[in-house]
Structure 1
Amino acid sequence: MVEWFLYLPQSGLGVADLLERSLAAEAAGFDGVAFLDHVETPVAPESPIWEAMTVATWIAARTTTLRIGHLVLCDAFRHPAVLAKQAVTLAEASGGRFELGLGAGSLPDELAKFGFTTDGPGARITHLGETLRRVRNYWGVGDDTEPPQAPHPTHPIPIVLGGTGQRMLGLVAEHADWWNLPADKVDRMDEYLPAIGSARISVQQMVAFVKEGDDREKVDSKSRRVFGSLGAGLVCGTAPELIDYFKNLETRGAQRFYIWFSDFARLPSITEFGRSVIDAYQDSNHPER
């Protein structure tokens, strides 16, 4: 059975808005919620953005079933020993609902502007590999070249890695429970699969959801004006069309979808998507329900 996560960038929204959307997603049948991790909003630095681990902690405290994660935490923002401790603490506090999503940093200008690093992509990938090794050691499940921290996790903490470069895919094969395919690479999924080892496949997908009563042309044109650069990473459709679309991705190996709504996850979209897509999708796969 596939999993459904709401991708909820915490930029331009109040903390109360994030909670409201997360609670709506939980009620609508989403399995989890994922945030992003930046010091300033990409492309729109004037737009306020909340710190990623703090938001995740707050949402975990106010929900009961949603798994909580990120696409993805930036390796350069946190020392591995601190990151390991944060992950164990949040996993314990949430009853095992936290997943550790990590990446090497996607915006070099942001990393330099705030004094994190001026390393190039190759050096950042190398550092990410070291972080992954050290975090697992601190959790007591690695190669024991660092002293383990106490306490050890009492719940497994899945590791989610995104990216499509050759070296990143090597880290996926070595360390990841989940590999996330970025939205702008959705049409190239099949070419990456031989390199990901045993990691399960998730897909980030921008969705222009045509709800009942919506004007399809308006939904499609508005979403393409804002997010058309994603190419195949943006799909516009009614509930039946989206069900067919995601079933095709599932047949190609996808086991989780991070739904990124083009209307910035307005409550009616979350609720109707749960009813007309998630529920209907599961029912079509399990007609005995």
Structure 2
Amino acid sequence: MTTHPFRFGVVAAHAPNAEAWAGLARRAENLGYATLLVPDTLGTFSPFTAAAVAATVTVTLRVGTYVLSAPYRTPEAVAWETSTLRTLTGGRFELGIGAGRPHAEQDAAVLGVGFGTPAQRVERVERTVDAVRDVPVLIAAAGPRLLRLAARKADVVALGVPPQFTEEQVAARLDTLSEFAGDRRDRLEVNMNLAAVGDEWPGWLTRQMGVDPREVAARGGTGVLTGTADEMVETLRRRRDRLGVSYVSVNAQFMEEFAPVVARLAGT
């Protein structure tokens, strides 16, 4: 059983203007979320800039990348950006990094950078982590290569599995992480993301997820959390006891709906 207290993050990718982005950050802070997390895609805000703006208009909210695609930037460039943001946010910046989500190779081509083989991308993640070693780092991992690296060098592991993964499937991945981590396992904070919360969802969510959230929920997928606030609280407590997942992030679309759960569990 993990000794890490619950904390919660909001994953937000875009806003229509600066005022709306600042308002989202302030609202997340007021609702008790610990972090505002920005993806790294060409269809979303530039993560370092968006994180900086969010930190400027808040006081306690931590900001971070979720997750930086390692092939897009040299380790030295990431270290430079990270050092600047850690200083200017008063230590509230958290670096999250991974080897590149599905279809990230297309963004790399637009940016004019090489994407590399899976092994090369994992090696780039490791070199980047080494370049910012004085900073706590989240590594997104799913397969054995990245799970092994995260077990050795991460402070936080974001389990990058599909939303339809059941608790049994998640447990199997975390068993692999535990095997690799050995004595470090209890030090690792484990994060999982919720793509949807509640019982009613907008039509665009199926396109974004690539799967019907109703089907995910019906099959016990961990990426969709349903039920009353009490039921959600009990589900997350069970998952922490069973899986060790204490850091839960949620799509910003559901920030308000999930807030009662955050109020009940944050810091406990």
- TM-score interval for Structure 1 and Structure 2 normalised by the shorter chain: 0.7 to 0.9
**C-alpha RMSD over aligned residues:** 2.3
Determine whether 1:244 maps to 2:234: yes
Moved over 6 A (4+): none
In the alignment, is the contact (CA less than 8 A) between 2:82 and 2:132 conserved in 1?
no
Q: Distance in 1 between matches of 2:210 and 2:236?
A: 19
Per-residue deviation, residues 31-87 of structure 1 (Å, max 9, x unmatched): 11101011x22xxxxxxx321101111111111101111210111222212211211
| Cα 1:31/1:245, change in 2 over 3 Å | same
In the alignment, is the contact (CA less than 8 A) between 1:228 and 1:234 conserved in 2?
no
Following superposition, the deviation at residue 126 of structure 1 comes to 1.9
Determine whether 1:256 maps to 2:247: yes
Counterpart of 1:234, as a letter, is V
Following superposition, the deviation at residue 115 of structure 1 comes to 1.4
Following superposition, the deviation at residue 282 of structure 1 comes to 5.2
Aligned length: 241
Determine whether 1:273 maps to 2:258: yes
**Counterpart in 2 of 1:95?**
90
**Counterpart in 2 of 1:153?**
none
Q: Distance in 1 between matches of 2:251 and 2:151?
A: 26
Q: Distance in 2 between matches of 1:237 and 1:223?
A: 21
Ranked by relative contact order (alpha carbons within 8 Å, sequence separation 6 or more), the top structure is 2
In the alignment, is the contact (CA less than 8 A) between 1:183 and 1:205 conserved in 2?
no
Determine whether 1:160 maps to 2:163: no
Q: Distance in 2 between matches of 1:182 and 1:118?
A: 19
Match of 2:126, SS state, is helix
Following superposition, the deviation at residue 222 of structure 1 comes to 4.1
Q: List alignment gaps of at least 5 residues for structure 1.
A: 42-48, 140-156, 210-215
Counterpart of 2:158, as a letter, is N
2:197 to 203, 208, 214: 208
Match of 2:93, SS state, is coil
Per-residue deviation, residues 136-191 of structure 1 (Å, max 9, x unmatched): 3xx5xxxxxxxxxxxxxxxxx21000121111011101210000013525522211
Match of 1:184, SS state, is coil
| Cα 1:248/1:223, change in 2 over 3 Å | farther
Determine whether 1:131 maps to 2:128: yes
Q: Distance in 1 between matches of 2:227 and 2:205?
A: 13
| Cα 1:24/1:123, change in 2 over 3 Å | same
Counterpart of 1:81, as a letter, is E
* CA radius of gyration, larger in: 1
Match of 1:96, SS state, is coil
**Counterpart in 1 of 2:173?**
192
Q: List alignment gaps of at least 5 residues for structure 2.
A: none
Q: Distance in 2 between matches of 1:127 and 1:225?
A: 32
TM-score (normalised: structure 2): 0.81
TM-score (normalised: structure 1): 0.75
In the alignment, is the contact (CA less than 8 A) between 1:102 and 1:161 conserved in 2?
yes
Q: Distance in 1 between matches of 2:35 and 2:20?
A: 17
Q: Distance in 2 between matches of 1:28 and 1:183?
A: 27
**Counterpart in 2 of 1:17?**
20
Q: Distance in 2 between matches of 1:260 and 1:24?
A: 14
